[in-house]
Amino acid sequence: MLIDHHPLDLRFAGARRWVYLGIGWIAFVFGIAGALLPILPAMPFFFMSLWAFSRSSPQLERWLLNHRWIGPGLRRFREHSVVPLSVKVGSVTCMIGAFVIAALSGRLPLWALGTQAFFVAVGCWFILRFPSKEPPQSGTP
């Protein structure tokens, strides 16, 4: 008899779902905060929320994709891996700005600044690697 999954996987499936739901809601709340505060980018948190909801709740995933304000950007990202230029500029500005503030404060040890610089570099690389515009639609007869 061939078993394609470990029997204990079923027991932890519920816990895994709750973890993804928690990540999704936390990211969503940070996204809302980012929409209201000029120093925090919103869309990366909404991207994370969509990712987590896609693994835990099809209803919440659909809700985000069909949301009046958030949905269009999330659909563009999902369908074409597009991150609009305004989102890129806002995200990179916030990440670099937070690093500059931390560096100028003089309160963080060098190892902490180095760690933050690493994560800022990875975050900037990640967001900048996506195209800013959707590919042109090919004409269909």
DSSP secondary structure letters along 19-37: HHHHHHHHHHHHHHHHHH-
The whole-number pLDDT of residue 141 equals 53
pLDDT tens per residue, range 19-36: 999 999 999 999 898 888
Mean pLDDT, to the nearest integer, of 86-95?
A: 87
Q: What percent of the chain has pLDDT over 90?
A: 49
**Which ranges constitute the DSSP H helices of the chain?**
9-36, 43-54, 58-65, 71-80, 85-105, 110-128
What's the DSSP call for residue 45? H
Instruction: Report whether pLDDT(4) > 70.
Output: no
pTM of the model: 0.68
Residue spans of the domains in the chain: they are 1-80, 83-133
Query: pLDDT band at residue 140, thresholds of 50, 70 and 90?
Result: low
The whole-number pLDDT of residue 25 equals 97
pLDDT tens per residue, range 103-118: 999 998 999 999 999 9
Tell me how far CA of residue 37 lies from CA of 30, 42, 97, 120, in angstroms: 10, 9, 14, 19
Work out the widest C-alpha separation in the chain, in whole angstroms. Answer: 64
pLDDT tens per residue, range 34-73: 888 766 778 888 999 999 999 999 999 999 999 999 999 8
